Chains A and B, each alone.
Chain A
Amino acid sequence: MATSVAELMDYDEVIERFDPVLGLEVHVELSTNTKMFCGCANLFGGEPNTHVCPTCLGLPGSLPVVNGKAVESAIRIGLALNCEIAEWCRFARKNYFYPDMPKNFQTSQYDEPIAFDGHLDVILDDGEVVRVDIERAHMEEDTGKSLHVGGATGRIHGAEHSLLDYNRAGVPLIEIVTKPITGMGERAPEVARAYVAALRDLLRAMDVSDVRMDQGSLRCDANVSLMPKGTSEFGTRTETKNVNSLRSVERAVRYEMTRQAAILAGGGSITQETRHFQESDGSTSSGRTKETAEDYRYFPEPDLVPIAPSREWVEELRATLPELPWERRKRIQAEWNLTDEELRDLVNTGAADLVAATVDAGAEPGEARSWWVQYLTQQANTREVELADLAITPAQVARIIALVKSGELTNKLAREVVSGVLEGEGEPDEVVDKRGLKVVSDDSALLTAVDEALAAQPDVAEKIRGGKVQAAGAIVGAVMKATKGQADAKRVRELILERVGA
């Protein structure tokens, strides 16, 4: 199917002429044991249609019963987002037909969300803190999954038929909706990414969700509109659906800004519609327009009774909140005595947890931080994995740091040990043994090498003897080469000076 390539405006020009307005809707799958309204296991994947029962298959006569743990998680999330918790709220039915939704209505919350009016402080790359206001967080259920067969693989267009798996149907979801985010200017795409990242870190710290964007346990819909500079009325927005990585969130927002700006500048108008993000080229393409949108006919779910969390319960749940990421950041900065810049690097590389764990394993904070933020971050980038997914544990890093501290490894050798661990050669000590990386500290072995080097370069030896101590560098280099870098350079220098009697 041929699609015309959208015209885009240069980004700097977009910023000169328009103010972007964002609205972010994030769906989070809770990691409860069971689904939202039935006792089926809440597990990712599995043989199709094996985590199903009459309720999540929508069989005639079946009824929902709310998972208390999911309500607890929803309230805790609301509290962590500084929301008010409703004194009384209900579920509603959102009515529309779709084959992956067994009842042809989604049990959700409509005008009575369990949490509302909150905010999340988001740190941008340069350390600036932006407060994103939260409109609401509400509970709902996930849909099943459809597989489209025939035609282009996996695509809905041209498919001959579809296959449905309801393992995911009824998995608890929390939908978190921001208020319109305005005044961000050129940083709007970055704010969008930073917000989703902050939310992900928060939910991870709370242990309420796997927050795996790649597996769909955290999904983001980005609403974008533009206002011409100097005006304050929001423009028509588009909603880009299911943007599935942090980078994509940023790209999708940026793309929509440049696309919409080009249309508006050309005298056109924006169609209110959902759009789909194309991972391949970072563009968005047109989906369902508002004209064909359904009338959802919301009404209170009669099969479920209202939820009225007592204030005592809410306070009990507040007390269970773990140290939240921003509180933790403050504490870490104080404890490790970090500058704002150091803290930012720590946060941006996502290394804070890893550093903390490395410190817990006995390493000194400065050393631990420098390993994770610098060398290991480089390694992660080279290998294109998340830092946390690097095949080395904080305990292993702590052991390597200890080996350096005791003089058994040089920094250079330590990096080789890291490589060995990353290559799966075992624990640091095993790598040291296998690769024979111990520092050569036996003076007699070193002296032999020193004597050989001096003998090979008598002119240099003479210079040193004559007082040009800095000339020793050449001999050190030769010795290091001869010992394949396993000698302690400082000791080598000492031995050279002793030998020539300088």
Chain B
Amino acid sequence: MTDLTKLGAAELAAKIHAREVTSVEVTTAHLDRIGEVDGAVHAFLHVDADGALAAARAVDGDIAEGRQPASPLAGVPLALKDVLTTEGVPTTCGSRTLENWLPPYDATVTRRLREAGVVILGKTNMDEFAMGSSTENSAYGPTRNPWDRERIPGGSGGGSSASLAAFEAPLAIGTDTGGSIRQPASVTGTVGVKPTYGGVSRYGLVAFSSSLDQAGPCARSVADAALLHEVIAGHDPMDSTSINAPVPPVVAAAREGALGDLKGVRVGVVKEFAGEGYQPGVLRSFEAAVAQLRDLGAEVVEVSCPNFTYAMPAYYLIAPSECSSNLARFDAMRYGLRVADDGGHSAEEVMSLTREAGFGPEVKRRIMLGTYALSSGYYDAYYGSAQKVRTLITRDFAAAFEQVDVLVSPTTPTTAFKIGERVDDPLAMYLADLCTIPSNLAGNAAMSVPSGLSDEDGLPVGLQIMAPALADDRMYKVGAAYEVARGPVLDRIPELKGVSA
């Protein structure tokens, strides 16, 4: 039998639905793989073997009885970022404060996955409350990049990206506030998609920055990501910001793109995303990718988005401001960690002591930054100005999308950096999201597709493709075409086998 963990989601689904293999076998293979390598990778915070096998058995039962599979991905395993609630299954958000929390409800994404027969293997590691670009801010220890275990797998969704690169799961769910799906995808040689804001319900996604957060699919191919996208996307009345419109036809677009013809597609290269701070090997990989798009028939032009350079400062005001409010609920009163409840301390003191004990340094830093930015006297200069920048960035996108169908850039300025390298330098860490942040601020769709390995360090590089809001299908078409032309990247990853010993 072929190694089931090396297969993509679509192939696995086809085999399961054709009864060549059972979902239980596929699930078991992945659970075994997790058992084998996760000690070295630490992609998972919690593995729900019983739940996964039960879900797999249910799918197998349906198929055995001749019922139509619940979805094109029924029976396929998936790794779920630990920021989405799962009823009765631990949801920690990588934080000490939620160490033992068992949510009483499923996130809408979780529910849709279950209803689609997708098998949830467990919950993946992440920077605490999704704040970070390296997964080093997890209270439960960092995740390691399967390409080089001395390096970061990106963040905040490093657990999800690493689980794909380590063949622990063929699919994963990430969330992207400033690049937390795309940057990890980029540095692990996997595909990560941030759908249009409002495309996927945020109900049950533990909020970091409500106006920026968006859950999305992670996979090892554009086609697999598209299949997962269609499972999780769509209007949800439980989320006021959910868009009440049909899901863009991303699966069809990916199939069309895979035919390898991009004639008539106008691609814009964002001028501002190059130069100082960009690793030469990353830029060379990007240029090669642009050349390949041209070879596929796309019309490539350079476009300028002058305000994009202000995106990062705006982001580091808006996201911390919203997070300072969103994380206020972690106060030791109703759930989560409580310390110093010894009869001597008041509720107020217990709140302060618990929040001090329960949050890591990055979370505290951002809460204080956001508290400052919203304070009377500073609001206009900081939060208010950042919201204006947001308007300007949206206008830059609108102007650019008048000229081109999609925009492209490197996903992140460098390949995976070493664990520990940027921990003490927040600003250096924040640079990892330089190219991904504008799409969060404007709410449009964006994805990262591997563009090969950097010639200087042999580590993966990502190509970012950005599309207008609600035109997610456009980037799937371009991404799929490019992916086929470029050829596989992940098959060059060093073998992890035996590392757990």
Contacts and interface: CB of A to CB of B under 8 A. Distances in A.
Interface string B225-238: 00000000000011
Given A65-B238, A164-B333, A59 B103 contact: yes
B203 interface: yes
Contact of B104 (A54, A66, A160, A299): A54
Among B202, B348, B374, find the residue whose CB has the most chain A CB atoms closer than 10 A. Answer: B374
Contacts of B334: 57-59, 102, 164
A302 B333 contact: no
B329 A103 contact: yes
A67 to B, nearest CB: 11
B85 A99 contact: no
A325 B85 CA distance: 50
A65 B202 CA distance: 12
A163 to B, nearest CB: 11
Interface string A94-117: 010101001111000000000000
Contact of B325 (A59, A93, A102): A93
B430 interface: no
B328 A104 contact: yes
B291 interface: no
B239 interface: yes
A375 B210 CA distance: 62
B336 to A, nearest CB: 8
A64 interface: yes
Contact of A60 (B101, B241, B333, B379): B101
Interface string A102-134: 111100000000000000000000000000000
A305 to B, nearest CB: 5
A63 B202 contact: yes
Given A63-B240, A295-B376, A297-B371, A58 B325 contact: no
- Dominant secondary structure at the A interface: loop
Contacts of B22: none
Contact of B237 (A62, A65, A304): A65
Nearest to B84: A61
A303 interface: yes
Given A295-B375, A297-B374, A303-B241, A60 B325 contact: no
B347 A61 contact: no
A162 interface: yes
B207 interface: yes
Nearest to B204: A61
B206 A61 contact: yes
Contacts of A162: 347
B277 to A, nearest CB: 30
A299 B383 contact: yes
Interface string A131-174: 00000000000000000000000000000101010000000000
B347 A54 contact: no
Interface in B203-219: 203-207, 209-211
Contacts of B374: 95, 297-299
B93 interface: yes
Interface in B92-108: 93, 98, 101, 103-105, 107
A221 B322 CA distance: 30
Contacts of A304: 240
B473 interface: no
B371 A104 contact: no
A302 B91 contact: no
A282 B30 CA distance: 72
Contacts of B351: 97
A437 B126 CA distance: 85
A299 B325 contact: yes
Contacts of B240: 63-66, 303-305
Interface residues of B, number: 45
A372 to B, nearest CB: 49
A32 to B, nearest CB: 17
B331 interface: yes
Given A297-B374, A299-B325, A61 B331 contact: no
Contacts of B204: 61-62
B103, B239, B331, B383 — most chain A CB neighbours (10 Å) = B331
Contacts of B383: 299
A286 to B, nearest CB: 20
Contacts of A299: 321-322, 325, 374, 379, 383
A297 B324 CA distance: 10
B206 A60 contact: yes
B278 interface: no
B203 A61 contact: yes
* Most B C-beta atoms less than 10 A away, residue of A59, A160, A297: A297
Interface in A286-313: 295, 297-299, 302-305
Nearest to A160: B343
B322 A302 contact: yes
B347 to A, nearest CB: 5
A303 B93 CA distance: 19
Interface string B105-127: 10100000000000000000000
Contacts of A63: 202-203, 238-240
A60 B375 contact: no
Contacts of B371: 297
A57 B333 CA distance: 11
Contacts of B107: 61
Contacts of A57: 334
A298 B331 CA distance: 20
Interface in B68-98: 84-85, 91, 93, 98
A235 to B, nearest CB: 23
Contacts of B91: 60-61
B197 to A, nearest CB: 11
Contacts of B322: 299, 302
B85 A61 contact: yes
Contacts of B343: 160
Contacts of A305: 240-241
A102 B335 CA distance: 10
Given A93-B325, A97-B328, A104-B329, A59 B203 contact: no
A63 B236 CA distance: 11
A301 to B, nearest CB: 8
Interface string B300-329: 000000000000000000000110110011
Contacts of B237: 65
Contacts of A93: 325
Contacts of B205: 61
Contact of B375 (A65, A66, A103, A297): A297
B84 A58 contact: no
B98 A60 contact: yes
A165 to B, nearest CB: 12
Contacts of B331: 97, 99, 104
A262 B385 CA distance: 47
Interface string A55-91: 0011111111110000000000000000000000000
A60 B328 contact: no
Nearest to B201: A63
Quick one: which of B329, B335, B348 has the most chain A CB within 10 A?
B329
Interface of B: 84-85, 91, 93, 98, 101, 103-105, 107, 202-207, 209-211, 237-241, 321-322, 324-325, 328-331, 333-335, 343, 347-348, 351, 371, 374-376, 379, 383
Given A62-B204, A105-B325, 5 more contacts: A57-B334, A61-B84, A65-B237, A162-B347, A298-B374
5 contacts: A60-B93, A97-B351, A104-B329, A164-B333, A299-B325
Name the 4 nearest CB pairs between A and B, nearest first: A104-B328, A297-B374, A302-B211, A302-B210
